[in-house]
Amino acid sequence: MAKVDVLIRGYAVKQDKGERASSTAVLVRDGSATVLVDPGINRQSLSRALEKVHVQPEEITHVLVTHYHPDHAYGAAWFPEAILLDNDCRYEGDAINDHDGFIPGTELAIMKTPGHAPEHCSLAVPTEQGMVVIAGDVFWWYDAEEQSLALDRPDPFAQDRAQLRESREKVLKLADIIIPGHGDVITVQ
């Protein structure tokens, strides 16, 4: 079974001029794969978090970005030896190929979950605690807002609200635990 560690709790904070945001960064270890999901934009915090779990950057075998908003994907370049994955492709150096919907060599499923962004995906991770879905921004809120798994919860950045609702339904049907892109881990009731 895979082991999941939330390295950084993602945040999105409104400020007088703009906002501050970085995604939840999650480490998944499954067999020989050490997968970093959404490295975020805060390099210092990520470096400290990796040190706490005794993982060196060169030990990351795969980086999955749930979507290409900078607060989630910016840090992917910090792991040049890792295989980069998104909803469709596997990037090794300058070679770009389709993938089969899984992190190579694992049962970690890359699920298409568009709506917040057209290319959005989530990662389904079977664990001893149940199915963990690292959901990126399928469910989204500012830190000052109540976290909610409501299907119709507003997302000011959603590019397709109908697709987002379908993606939320998909995640809720599968997940026992949801790790959102910003905020606290949620146990599905």
The tokens describing 180, both together, are: 């959102």
Q: What is residue 66's predicted lDDT score, i.e. its pLDDT?
A: 98
Q: How far apart are CA 133 and CA 125, in angstroms?
A: 6
Q: How far apart are CA 147 and CA 104, in angstroms?
A: 33
Burial class from Cβ neighbours inside 10 Å (0-12, 13-18, 19+) for residue 5 reads middle
Q: Which CATH superfamily is domain 3-187 in?
A: Ribonuclease Z/Hydroxyacylglutathione hydrolase-like (3.60.15.10)
Instruction: Tell me the residue type at 156.
Output: P
Q: How far apart are CA 29 and CA 116, in angstroms?
A: 27
The sign of the torsion formed by the CA atoms of 150, 24, 19, 66 equals negative
Residue 3 has pLDDT above 90, yes or no: yes
Q: How far apart are CA 65 and CA 120, in angstroms?
A: 8
The tokens describing 38, both together, are: 């959404």
Residue-wise pLDDT for 76-86, tens only, equals: 999 999 999 99
Predicted TM-score of the model (pTM):
0.97
pLDDT-above-90 percentage for the chain: 99
CB atoms within 10 A of CB 31: 12
Residue 129 has pLDDT above 90, yes or no: yes
Please report, for the chain, the start and end positions of each structural domain, with discontinuous segments joined by +: 3-187
